[in-house]
């Protein structure tokens, strides 16, 4: 089982357990999560506390940056962390999530997979606190895109484990990351709404155009090849109507046909970017000869900036 699949399996296990009326934070629960994180591979120490001293090193692998507690202390510290979490029923979930994340990573109780397990435990704490949407429960994607910030947040632990260390800086960083992730998602959704309105306007500008055609333009804009069959599934129209709609979009320059007959498919046309820019009131891509992906990303950034400045859709 690959890392991605084992992580997904562990998250599925967590979500299935999180809303159990008899849920309790326990050492065995944490070991069970780690067991799944490590793909149930006993040779990798899945679900078993480490028996040797871990030493965290920098990216060069030469300089020690943190010394976790000795292996003899790990079971007790994990049990104490679980007991602490069990007592936090009325505490704010983001606070509990951040503390569990930081302290578990500091304890580093397993030979491998500690970071993944810590992030899953943080997600579990959020879910237990009533945060069910993925943008709140999991920071895996966010931290993956901000690795430097992630490791800097742990600097509050110092150079070696101390049970009484102040983890406030990590809590602050963790909560800022959650807020930033939600704001980024909100901006993305608002930008996509503005884009959809622009595509809708584009279809209405075509003689005999219909708002259903925006489905084809949306997928083409994001690089998907649109076939008659795929368009029919999106717009819920007949074969003849799909042929007619796609032909109109092609003749207007919003789509470009590739191939013929049954193999015919459609990609973004030469006018699509300019039409979106004009409808949304943003500057067109500065270099019409640039690769399509670059032009598309330029327009998306421009739409997002307009949303942020004007509050459109937020």
Coil/strand/helix, residue 47: coil
Q: Which of 215, 312, 314 is nearest to 255 (CA)?
A: 215
What fold characterizes domain 186-310? Answer: Arc Repressor Mutant, subunit A (1.10.10)
The CATH number of the domain covering residues in 3-166: 1.10.3290.10
The CATH 1.10.10.10 domain(s) of the chain lie at 186-310
Non-local (6+) Cβ contacts of 229 within 8 A are none
- Residue 311 banded pLDDT, cuts 50, 70, 90: low
Euclidean distance between CA atoms 268 and 257, whole angstroms: 9
* Angle in degrees, CA 133, 136, 142, rounded to 5: 120
Tell me which of 41-45, 79-83, 136-140, 246-250 is least confident.
136-140
Distance between CA atoms of residues 111 and 46, nearest Å: 9
Q: Average pLDDT in the 159-178 region?
A: 94
Which residues are within 8 A (CB) of 104 and not within 5 positions of it... i.e. 6 or more apart? 30, 78, 81, 114, 117, 118, 121
Task: Tell whether the model's pLDDT for residue 170 goes beyond 90.
Answer: yes
Alpha-carbon gap, residue 20 to 304, rounded angstroms: 40
Lookup: tokens for 258: 């590739």
Q: Crossing angle of helices 27-37/74-86, nearest 10°?
A: 110
CA distances for 228 relative to 134, 202, 221, angstroms = 34, 20, 16
Q: And the tokens for 200?
A: 């809708």
Q: Helices 292-310 & 168-204, crossing angle to 10 degrees? A: 110
Burial 9-36 (b: 16+ CB within 10 A, else e): bbbebbeebbeeeeeebebebbbbbbbb
Alpha carbon distance 153, 103 (integer Å): 12
What Rg value do the Cα atoms of the chain yield, rounded?
25
Give the distance, in angstroms, between the CA of residue 134 and the centroid of all CA atoms in the same chain: 8
Q: Which residue has the higher pLDDT, 287 or 258?
A: 258
pLDDT tens figures, 90-149 = 899 999 999 999 999 999 999 999 999 999 999 999 999 888 877 677 888 888 888 889
Which residues of the chain form CATH 1.10.3290.10?
A: 3-166
Measured N-to-C along each axis, helices 74-86 and 93-107 cross at an angle, to the nearest 10 degrees, of 180
Separation CA 154–CA 105 (nearest Å): 9
pLDDT of amino acid 314: 47
Distance CA 269, CA 292 (A): 10
3 state DSSP class of 243: helix
- Which of 219, 7, 284 minimizes the C-alpha distance to 229? 219
**Which is more confident, 301 or 92?**
92
- The model's confidence at residue 2, banded by pLDDT at 50, 70 and 90, is low
Instruction: Give the Å distances, CA to CA, from 153 to 95, 172, 177.
Output: 15, 9, 11
Of the listed ranges 22-26, 121-125, 271-275, the least confidently predicted one is: 271-275
């Amino acid at each position: 089982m690959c890392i991605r699949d084992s992580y997904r399996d562990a998250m599925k296990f967590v979500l299935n357990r999180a809303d159990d009326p008899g849920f309790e934070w326990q050492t065995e629960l944490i070991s069970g999560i780690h067991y799944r994180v490590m793909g149930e591979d006993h040779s990798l120490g899945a679900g078993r506390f480490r028996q040797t001293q871990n030493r965290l090193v920098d990216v060069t692998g030469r300089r020690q940056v943190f010394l976790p507690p000795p292996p003899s202390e790990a079971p007790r510290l994990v049990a104490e962390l679980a007991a602490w979490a069990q007592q936090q029923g009325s505490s704010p979930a983001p606070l509990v999530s951040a503390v569990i994340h930081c302290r578990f990573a500091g304890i580093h109780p397993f030979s491998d997979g500690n970071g993944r397990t810590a992030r899953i435990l943080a997600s579990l704490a959020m879910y237990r606190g009533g945060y069910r949407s993925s943008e709140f429960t999991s920071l895996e994607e966010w931290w993956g895109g901000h690795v430097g910030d992630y490791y800097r947040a742990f600097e509050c632990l110092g150079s070696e484990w101390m049970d009484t260390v102040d983890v406030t800086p990590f809590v602050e960083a963790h909560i800022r990351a959650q807020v930033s992730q939600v704001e980024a998602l909100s901006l993305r959704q608002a930008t996509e709404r503005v884009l959809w309105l622009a595509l809708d306007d584009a279809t209405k500008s075509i003689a005999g155009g219909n708002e259903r055609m925006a489905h084809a333009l949306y997928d083409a804009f994001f690089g998907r090849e649109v076939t008659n069959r795929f368009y029919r599934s999106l717009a819920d129209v007949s074969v003849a109507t799909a042929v007619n709609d796609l032909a109109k979009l092609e003749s207007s320059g919003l789509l470009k046909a590739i191939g013929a007959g049954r193999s015919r498919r459609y990609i973004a046309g030469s006018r699509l970017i300019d039409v979106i820019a004009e409808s949304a009131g943003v500057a067109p891509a500065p270099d019409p000869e640039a690769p399509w992906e670059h032009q598309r990303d330029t327009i998306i950034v421009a739409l997002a900036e307009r949303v942020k400045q004007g509050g459109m859709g937020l």
